[in-house]
Amino acid sequence: DTAVSQTPKYLVTQMGNDKSIKCEQNLGHDTMYWYKQDSKKFLKIMFSYNNKELIINETVPNRFSPKSPDKAHLNLHINSLELGDSAVYFCASSQLGTGGDEQFFGPGTRLTVL
Amino acid sequence: QQPVQSPQAVILREGEDAVINCSSSKALYSVHWYRQKHGEAPVFLMILLKGGEQKGHEKISASFNEKKQQSSLYLTASQLSYSGTYFCGTVVGDDKIIFGKGTRLHILP
């Protein structure tokens, strides 16, 4: 069984389009995250949700909107895509979300904006 | 605020040892270590909480010096499977992990 899954795995789109990435975890965790890993492999947190409530919002452009319909799902919608949005986006989850807890990462979604 | 990792890259022969360092300019609540292989997701190795503890995981161990705001990851008798990029992540009390730029480790047979 996959612990943290993301769809799609690859996403290629034109500038200006809107796209969504979906994430699901079956670990029963309360906290979920979105990370962005750029071409230089820098891994940066974007958002975290605890039991459907937004906890961390890291100075991300408001073109990015996370949505958590329930604590097992955290989706990421991106409006008006720009070239600089090209990156690998990782979803992750942890039980506590207090910084003292291991995080389980999904396989990643490679977004390419042309 | 981003922790500084050193070295940036290491090339070892199988069986050799390596040390990866991570330092922060801020007081730390915890330090996380993750390994990422090419094209894959980061995988958790260990967490060290403030208190200066040392942890071990097979032949991989780590220390955390709270006063110096530093952590080190020790890889003993490295195996080919240890190749990848190692990230330290620091938590300063606001519950989010800030990752360093990573240390690329390549093990030669």
> Are the beta carbons of A99 and B94 separated by less than 8 Å?
yes
Single out the residue of A34, A28, A29 nearest to residue A6, CA to CA: A34
One-letter amino acid at A109 equals T
CA angle A36, B36, A103 (to 5 degrees): 65
Is some CB atom of chain B closer than 8 A to the CB atom of A59?
no
> Are the beta carbons of A48 and B96 separated by less than 8 Å?
yes
State the Cα–Cα distance between residues B56 and B67, nearest whole angstrom. 21
Single out the residue of A94, A57, A99 nearest to residue B89, CA to CA: A99
> Are the beta carbons of B32 and A48 separated by less than 8 Å?
no
**pLDDT tens sequence across A21-57:** 999 999 999 999 999 999 999 999 999 998 888 988 8
Q: Flag whether pLDDT at B67 surpasses 90.
A: no
Percent of chain A with pLDDT over 70: 98
Handedness of CA A33, B102, A5, A13 (dihedral sign): positive
> Are the beta carbons of A55 and B93 separated by less than 8 Å?
no
Q: Flag whether pLDDT at B56 surpasses 80.
A: no
Chain A residues near residue B95 by CB distance under 8 angstroms: 48, 55-56, 97-99
Is some CB atom of chain B closer than 8 A to the CB atom of A39?
no
Return residues 16-35 of B near A (CB < 8 Å).
Answer: 29-30, 32
**pLDDT tens sequence across A50-68:** 888 898 888 789 999 999 9
